[in-house]
């Protein structure tokens, strides 16, 4: 099944920001486009707004004047749904209410031809439930664009329970013909991105709620150590706290209040107080005139230890040994069957975050997972009140000698980046096992949809499924609510990896 022919008219119902964006994508691709809105005059206003954006594309040399004029000639505001009768595809971007969408598609089904593809841009409702109102739900599909639609490449092509393969394939190929990067997924709460992204926010909020670190420090660690483009607090301020919490709540409810998707009480209080982020002037941060952005906690300068002793395999942190030598810190290596740590001159130990806590051991300082230890500009350390000041000072000095800013956080199991990545990886493995999407499509969706530095399976291969599984097991022991219980799918991958490596 191929993409729609460019001569085929495409209709967009709903002319808000998303509807206008989808219409612009189809228009620039070469289709005749009809715009309809139930409120009189809005379709005409939307057509004018799209025309103005086309003018700006010409000014930026992204579109020729001739192509702009041709696109404008193909754009038609519709006065009624009846004017969409000859369209080959109708995409709705109306109010996120099930009854409103169902009623719209019931009306459309009486107007358009039998081979017209019907699509919803919903981000939170069930595609199956919307399509359930139709006499012929096989031609109904989800086309979830990301805002702003003309700029962001990802489109989630969602098959409802009754969607025909031919309809999903045609929608997929059409999105690709429009210059987008489509990914195919089953109709699951949150689809791919909004399902698998929940831990990115939830774990940051959990660290904050446990008083492990402040928002500025958590955000800095996620950016400068984890490689994420934005931290969870600044990103939700940009999205809108009410919008982000609404999506989280919807996914949680749709999964029958599964604890893995539970909303944050701290975020709820923020929304209740009216601090919705940038749009209201205050959120986690203060955006009012004259307000100063808080700085992340950064440790004072400490001398570097003369040497460290590397015991065992540091796994994804192995590059630290070469970096230490280059920085003039002597490295002694010892083979240890059960050791994966750096021993400091004081006798204290530096250990990669593994889901355990410093208070359980004598003078153990944990350090967080990094996307790339060479390129990271900040490293988080975790210690408890009983940790020797000398041990902590040596740990700080070690990473400072490698050119890193150091943030010391509370005794948080799994720290910040490690626990966040572990949960994202686990949800991704679980999604594949349940037929939501392929590994490749999930990685693509998370990189393009939310700008993650690596897809979950790329992270899994880099860190190791066994290490991810074991970290979650340790977290689950310390928080037996089920939030951190590793999925059966991750267990199987970890067990398979152990078998290949000969672990008994």
Active site (catalytic) residues: 123, 144, 156, 194
Distances (CA, A) of 474 to 59, 349, 353, 427, 468: 56, 19, 11, 17, 10
DSSP-H helix ranges across 383-455: 389-401, 417-433, 439-450
CA distance 135 to 294: 56
Please name which of 139, 132, 122 lies closest in space to residue 189, comparing C-alpha atoms. Answer: 122
Q: Are 229 and 169 in contact (CB under 8 A)?
A: no
CA distance 115 to 135: 13
Q: Long-range contacts for 242-250 (Cβ within 8 Å, ≥24 apart)?
A: 242/271, 242/276, 244/201, 245/271, 246/124, 247/123, 247/124, 247/190, 247/194, 248/198, 248/201, 248/202, 250/124, 250/189, 250/190
Q: Token digits for 295?
A: 């700085």
Q: Are 122 and 101 in contact (CB under 8 A)?
A: yes
Q: Long-range contacts for 72-76 (Cβ within 8 Å, ≥24 apart)?
A: 74/27, 74/30, 74/31, 74/32, 74/33, 75/23, 75/27, 75/33, 75/35, 75/47, 75/50, 75/51, 76/32, 76/33, 76/34, 76/35, 76/47
CA distance 76 to 68: 14
Q: Are 457 and 442 in contact (CB under 8 A)?
A: yes
Please name which of 133, 134, 178, 135 lies closest in space to residue 155, comparing C-alpha atoms. Answer: 178
**SS3 category, 277:** strand
Q: Are 347 and 361 in contact (CB under 8 A)?
A: no
Cβ neighbours for 318, distance < 8 A, ≥ 6 positions apart: none
Which letter does DSSP use for residue 3 in this model?
P
Distances (CA, A) of 93 to 86, 105, 116, 153, 262: 19, 12, 17, 18, 27
DSSP-derived pairing of the beta strands 405-409 and 75-77 = unpaired
> Given the structure tokens 């930026």, which residue do they identify?
60
């Amino acid at each position: 099944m191929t993409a729609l022919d460019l001569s085929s008219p495409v209709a967009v119902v709903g002319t808000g920001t998303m509807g206008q964006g989808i219409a612009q994508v189809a228009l620039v691709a070469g289709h005749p486009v009809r715009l309809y809105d139930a409120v009189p005059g809005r379709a005409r206003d939307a057509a004018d707004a799209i025309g103005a954006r086309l003018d700006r594309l010409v000014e930026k040399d992204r579109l020729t004047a001739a192509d702009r004029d041709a696109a404008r000639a193909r754009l038609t505001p519709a006065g009624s749904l009846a004017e969409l009768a000859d369209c080959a595809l109708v995409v709705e971007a109306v109010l996120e209410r099930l009854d409103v969408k169902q009623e719209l598609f019931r009306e459309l089904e009486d107007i358009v031809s039998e081979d017209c593809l019907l699509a919803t841009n919903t981000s939170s409702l069930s595609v199956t439930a919307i399509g359930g109102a139709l006499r012929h739900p096989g031609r109904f599909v989800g086309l979830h664009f990301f805002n702003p639609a003309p700029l962001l490449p990802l489109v989630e092509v969602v098959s409802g329970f009754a969607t025909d393969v031919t309809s999903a394939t045609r929608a997929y190929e059409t999105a690709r013909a429009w210059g987008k990067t489509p990914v195919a997924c089953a109709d699951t709460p949150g689809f791919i991105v909004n399902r698998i992204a929940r831990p990115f926010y939830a774990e940051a909020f959990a660290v904050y709620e446990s008083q492990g670190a402040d928002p500025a420090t958590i955000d800095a660690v996620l950016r400068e150590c984890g490689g994420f483009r934005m931290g969870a607090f600044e990103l939700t301020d940009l999205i809108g706290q009410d919008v982000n919490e609404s999506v989280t709540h919807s996914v949680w409810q749709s999964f029958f209040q599964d604890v893995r998707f539970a909303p944050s009480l701290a975020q709820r209080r923020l929304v209740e107080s009216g601090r919705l982020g940038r749009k209201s002037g205050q959120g986690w941060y203060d955006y009012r005139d004259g307000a100063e952005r808080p700085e992340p906690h950064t440790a004072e300068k400490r001398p570097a230890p003369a040497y460290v002793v590397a015991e065992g395999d540091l796994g994804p942190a192995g590059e630290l040994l070469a970096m230490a030598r280059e920085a003039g810190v002597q490295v002694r290596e010892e083979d240890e069957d059960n050791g994966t740590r750096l021993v400091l001159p004081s006798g204290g130990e530096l250990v990669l975050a593994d889901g355990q806590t410093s208070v359980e051991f004598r003078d153990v300082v944990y350090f967080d997972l990094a996307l790339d230890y060479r390129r990271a500009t900040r490293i988080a350390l975790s210690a408890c009140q009983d940790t020797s000041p000398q041990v902590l000072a040596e740990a700080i000095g070690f990473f400072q000698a490698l050119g890193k800013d150091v943030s010391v956080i509370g005794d948080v199991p799994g720290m910040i980046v490690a626990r966040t990545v572990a949960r994202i990886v686990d949800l991704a493995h679980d999604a594949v096992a349940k037929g939501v999407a392929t590994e490749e499509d999930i990685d693509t969706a998370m990189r393009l949809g939310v700008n993650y530095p690596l897809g979950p399976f790329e992270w899994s291969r880099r860190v190791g499924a066994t290490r991810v599984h074991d970290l979650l097991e340790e977290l689950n022991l310390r928080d037996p609510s089920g939030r951190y219980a590793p999925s059966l799918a991750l267990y199987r991958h970890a067990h398979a990896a152990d078998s290949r490596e000969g672990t008994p």
